[in-house]
């Protein structure tokens, strides 16, 4: 290699290093985000994220009818992150509005007292809720690209109402939002991750697939779940007849059929294995009839005591974030809080102390993947999974393998492991993902 070529190669590597080390403003223009949170050691605003999620409880912002508290804590949080150049995707909930809702003493959200059966062209199904949502969106006109209505309404702990009542609530919110700003997209609460697993298992059984195929899918989906799991095909059939399980399936199926009537974007939550992520995305698009999807609660879970738990969670994070970009989600919001009871591994533990493997993986993923996507190609072959993303400044391939494989990387490219450390250009692939970064 001549002296000029060596200098050029060194210059390319230096440019890539600087871009990787300090990031760029493009990080605010991708689709990856997390919750709007700040601890003593970690500030989500320091990440190159595009979005952050924050809840807006009705009762906190409008504690009395017509009296708005515009300096309420969640709104202060929104203001802080907007000032950092981060777009906010709020979750509007009826919780806490004792003067306005059916079950004022419960922690869950519930339908407004004035929720009607017939749609009124002036305010939808509820005048009180319409006014609240309208005032919030007016206050933040142009600041919210997407507004999510409620959280996991199939769960009793979050929504104390019926599914039809929820759809009427969304229709009312949609009218209020569009009356202020037609460009804002409306999304649903997100069906919970485990509920999606039940819906997909039910679909496999109903389609007349081999029973063993449905059982193998069920085992793969629920392998790290915190709920009791069926260990045989006969147990699976008993589980699927359980009344609580049937309730989740009834609620989820109702929403899957009807959501396209009231939302612009279908929202879903997911914590399970990355291998099933593309299958779930295809299932949701097919069953809901909506191409536009988002995920405002994407995370990873491993049982307590699992070998290399934090490392495996970090590896899964990279894969899921790459797949969220590959499948064209409008937003992917990472869940940053650990929950040992639910086996969730966050960016910090339950005492909010940073977990280095997942924190580094998130920083690396957002720095390299959170940019305007020009094109995507799935270059997977055999046991090697290879997802190739073309961004304005570089091309990034996220690569891993289901077995041991060796790959060579061209000289103008740099290679980073899932923690962001540069590695050799001759790589032995395995389940741990790598980033191959090449200049444009």
Mean local confidence (pLDDT), 404-413: 85
Question: What whole-number distance in Å separates Cα of residue 319 and Cα of residue 275?
Answer: 9
| Domain termination residue (choose one: 325, 344, 370) | 370
∠ at Cα 256 (254, 282), nearest 5°? Answer: 155
> Looking at residue 9, what is its pLDDT?
42
User: Is residue 401 scored above 60 in pLDDT?
Assistant: yes
Q: Token pair for residue 54?
A: 């924050």
Assess whether 4 and 130 both reside in one domain: no
* Over residues 78-89, mean pLDDT: 97
Question: 164-188 pLDDT, tens per residue?
Answer: 999 999 999 999 999 999 999 999 9
DSSP states of 128-196: HHHHHHHHHHHHTTTT-SEEEESS-TTSTTTB-S-HHHHHHHHHHHHHHHHHH-TTSEEE---B-HHHH
Show the CA angle centred on residue 191, arms to residues 186 and 193, nearest 5°: 135
Same domain as 363, residue 323: yes
Residues 290 and 417 in one domain: no
SS3 for 7-60 is HHHHHHHHHHHHHHHHCCHHHHHCCEEEECCECCCCEHHHCCCCEEEEEEEHHH
CA 275 to chain CA centroid, Å, is 16
Return d(Cα 4, Cα 16) in angstroms, integer. 18
Give this prediction's pTM.
Answer: 0.93
User: 282 and 232: one domain?
Assistant: yes
Residues 53 and 162 in one domain: yes
The CATH number of residue 175's host domain is 3.20.20.80
Q: What is the pLDDT of residue 196?
A: 99
Regarding whether 415 and 299 lie in a shared domain, the answer is no
Do both 296 and 315 map to the same domain? Answer: yes
Indicate if 36 and 20 belong to the same structural domain. Answer: no
421 in the same domain as 357: no
pLDDT for 266-309, tens place per residue?
Answer: 999 999 999 999 999 999 999 999 999 999 999 999 999 999 99
Q: What is the mean pLDDT of residues 71-83?
A: 98
Q: Do 304 and 434 belong together in one domain?
A: no
Q: CA 174 to CA 182: how far, in whole Å?
A: 9
- Mark which of 335, 370, 405 sits at the end of a domain: 370
Residue ranges with strand state E in 215-292:
266-270
> How many domains is the chain partitioned into structurally?
2
DSSP, collapsed to helix, strand or coil, labels residue 284 as helix
Q: Please, which pLDDT band fits residue 33 given cuts at 50, 70 and 90? A: very high
What residues contact 145, with CB distance under 8 A and at least 6 apart?
51, 87, 89, 184, 185, 331
CATH number of the domain residue 386 falls in? 2.60.40.1180
| pLDDT score at 190 | 99
Same domain, yes or no: 306 and 157: yes
User: Residue 27 — pLDDT band, cuts 50, 70, 90?
Assistant: low
Same domain, 422 and 277: no
Instruction: Name the average pLDDT for the chain.
Output: 93
Q: Which domain holds residue 399?
A: 1-24+372-440
**Domain C-terminal end among 355, 370, 385:** 370
Which pLDDT band, with edges at 50, 70 and 90, does 380 fall under?
very high
pLDDT confidence bin for 404, thresholds 50/70/90: confident
Compare 271 and 402 and report the one with higher pLDDT.
271
């Amino acid at each position: 290699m001549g002296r000029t070529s060596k200098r050029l190669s060194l210059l390319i590597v230096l440019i890539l290093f600087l871009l990787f080390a300090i990031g760029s403003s493009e990080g605010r223009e991708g689709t990856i985000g997390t919750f709007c949170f700040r601890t003593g050691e970690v500030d989500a605003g320091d990440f190159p994220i595009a979005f952050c999620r924050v809840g807006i409880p009705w009762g906190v912002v409008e504690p009395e009818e017509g009296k708005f508290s515009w300096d309420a804590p969640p709104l202060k949080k929104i203001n802080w992150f907007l000032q950092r150049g981060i777009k906010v995707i709020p979750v509007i909930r009826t919780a806490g509005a004792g003067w306005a809702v059916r079950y004022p003493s419960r922690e869950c959200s519930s339908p407004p007292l004035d929720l009607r059966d017939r749609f009124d062209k002036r305010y939808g199904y509820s005048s009180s809720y319409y006014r609240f949502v309208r005032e919030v969106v007016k206050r933040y006109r142009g600041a919210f690209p997407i507004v999510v209505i409620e959280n996991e309404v199939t769960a009793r702990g979050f929504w104390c109402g019926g599914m039809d009542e929820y759809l009427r609530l969304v229709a009312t919110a949609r009218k209020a939002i569009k009356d202020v700003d037609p460009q804002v997209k409306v999304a649903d609460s997100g069906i919970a991750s485990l509920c999606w697993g039940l819906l997909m298992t039910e679909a496999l059984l109903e389609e007349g697939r081999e029973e063993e195929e449905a059982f193998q899918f069920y085992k793969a989906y629920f392998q790290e779940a915190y709920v009791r799991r069926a260990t045989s095909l006969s147990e699976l059939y008993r589980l699927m007849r359980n009344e609580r399980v049937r309730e989740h399936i009834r609620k989820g199926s109702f929403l899957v059929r009807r959501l396209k009537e009231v939302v612009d974007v279908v929202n879903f939550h997911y914590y399970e294995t990355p291998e099933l992520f593309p299958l779930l995305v295809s299932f949701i698009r097919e069953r809901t009839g909506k191409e536009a999807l988002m995920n405002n609660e994407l995370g990873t879970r491993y049982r307590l005591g699992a070998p290399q738990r934090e490392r495996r969670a970090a590896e899964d994070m990279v894969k899921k974030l790459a797949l969220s970009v590959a499948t064209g989600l409008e937003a992917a919001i990472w869940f940053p809080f650990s929950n040992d009871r639910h086996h969730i591994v966050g960016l910090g533990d339950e005492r909010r102390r940073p977990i280095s493997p997942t924190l580094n993986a998130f920083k690396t993923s957002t720095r390299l993947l959170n940019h305007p996507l020009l094109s995507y190609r799935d270059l997977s072959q055999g046991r090697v999974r290879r997802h190739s993303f073309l961004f304005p400044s570089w091309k990034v391939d996220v690569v891993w393998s289901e077995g041991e494989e060796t790959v060579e990387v061209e000289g103008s490219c740099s290679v980073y492991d899932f923690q962001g450390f540069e590695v050799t250009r001759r790589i032995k692939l395995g389940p741990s993902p790598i980033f191959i970064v090449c200049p444009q």
